[in-house]
Amino acid sequence: MFEKYKETKAFILIAGIFAGVYLLPVHSANFLNGLHEAIFNAQEYAVLHILMIFVPALFITGAVSVFIKRDSIINFLGAKANRFLAYVVAALSGTVLVVSSGAILPLFSKILKRGSGLGPAITFLYSGPAISALTIIMTIRILGWQLGIARTVGAITFSIVIGVIMHFLFWKEEKQHLVDIPKETSGKTGRPIWQTLIIFALMIAIPLVLKWVRPDMATSPHLFIRMYQHKWLAAGIIAMLLGLYLTLFYGLRLWKVILTAGVVWGISYVRPSQPLTAYLVALYFVCVWLIQEKGVLHDWLISTWGFAKLIFPLLFISVLISGALFGRSGQEAWIPSEWITALVGGNSIWANLLASVSGAFMYFATLTEVPILNGLISSGMGKGPALALLLAGPAFSLPGIWVINSFLGTKKTLVYVFLVIVFSSITGYIFGLLFT
């Protein structure tokens, strides 16, 4: 019986693939243009975003996971943790935890079992997938600083607001279920916090300098023009300072920093018009040196590579899909821009509500919402609905809602979903009024 079922399943799969290929509208101009836009979109991301934004952001994300331990966050959310501190840590946890709305669920279950109150747990659940360092950098760079900052501030603020509301609505029930367990240690690594902060400040400065926007040469101050012209030199100096800092406090060999700086400077001198070559050589040396180290420096590269393997394939697929479906401004693809404009164009209450509901029930793997939303915006989506989708999308998905329901029960789950959709819609509408 089982063998018969397997053969039937295989036949249906083969027949489905054949029918799909046979029915492809390969002679349709719209279909072919969608394929062209998919490839163009992938190429544009590779040139403009992947090397100078995505790769540095991956190193930042890898450093976060190594230098700041995940358990040290969860320990702040235990039964005897300070309530105010618990909400703050839960709201900011997303900058450390690079997880999607699905991957956050086991951690959410874990802190509930450790005796966390419902409020901090909900704050953690909402904020966690929305504000990783990688997500913030990519959102600001690709979708603009207004949407990037609004997404970050909105996710942090409303995660706390929704958590507090859930706490007061279900306080009587929660009192009966809180577990009295001993307060755990904070999981400190033994290093002063300023050492970690300096590392992140230097790393964040590199992609910010590399992607310095070209100023208007006719009206911009001379200082901004000079900074743009020498941004590669500035990025190199910052990178060398980072290397020296790692030498002083983390055991990186000084000769490796000097050799890398010398080789990169030599390439820049020989090929001054091709700074990307020197940049790629510098990345190669960084990977070679870190893999040879021990301890946190070695773990840093391994963690970075782990995130790259996890995120890059999904990002690449989402970029292709976004290009094929939505194209660019003025370039039609498979979905006509008139449809997008009619549904989520402008800044009506309906458009923001539709964007929130759509985002809430769609599943976005880590970072994939950015290229998809970029395609929607280029097809006519308003800024308000775009923010509404950004705020609701990473919070949960249809499969995630079923899992949350198993933890919280139907009533709490429905209230949580309702609050996320309402706050996302209202925030998107207000944002649209301010920035449209």
Domain residue ranges of the chain, discontinuous segments joined by +? 40-180+311-435, 193-296
Distance CA 42, CA 61 (A): 22
Using a pLDDT cut of 70, give the percent of the chain over it.
Answer: 78
Spell out the residues 6+ positions from residue 309 whose beta carbon is closer than 8 angstroms to its own: none
* Digit-coded pLDDT (tens) for 89-114: 888 876 666 556 656 776 677 777 66
Note the helical H segments in 55-103. 55-67, 70-75, 83-92
Mean pLDDT of all residues belonging to the chain: 79
pTM: 0.69
Better pLDDT: 149 or 178:
149
Q: What interhelical angle do 410-435 and 383-392 show, nearest 10?
A: 150
Distance CA 302, CA 66 (A): 10
The CB-based long-range contact list for 240-246 (8 Å cut-off, 24+ gap) reads 241/202, 242/199, 242/202, 242/203, 242/206, 245/198, 245/199, 245/202, 246/199, 246/297
Give the chain's radius of gyration (CA, Å).
Answer: 24
* Digit-coded pLDDT (tens) for 28-41: 777 788 888 888 87
Question: CA distances (Å), 154 to each of 57, 181, 249, 391, 433, in order?
Answer: 22, 33, 36, 7, 15
In this structure, how many other beta carbons lie within 10 angstroms of the beta carbon of residue 9? Answer: 10
Is the pLDDT at 173 greater than 50, yes or no?
Answer: yes
DSSP assignment of 335-403 equals S-HHHHHHHH-TT-HHHHHHHHHHHHHS---TTTHHHHHHHHHHTT--HHHHHHHHHHGGG--HHHHHH
Spell out the residues 6+ positions from residue 280 whose beta carbon is closer than 8 angstroms to its own: 51
Distance CA 391, CA 429 (A): 12
* Digit-coded pLDDT (tens) for 338-396: 788 888 888 889 999 998 888 777 766 666 778 888 888 888 889 899 999 988 877 77
Which of 425, 424, 436 has its CA nearest to residue 350? Answer: 425
* Digit-coded pLDDT (tens) for 236-260: 899 999 999 999 988 899 999 999 9
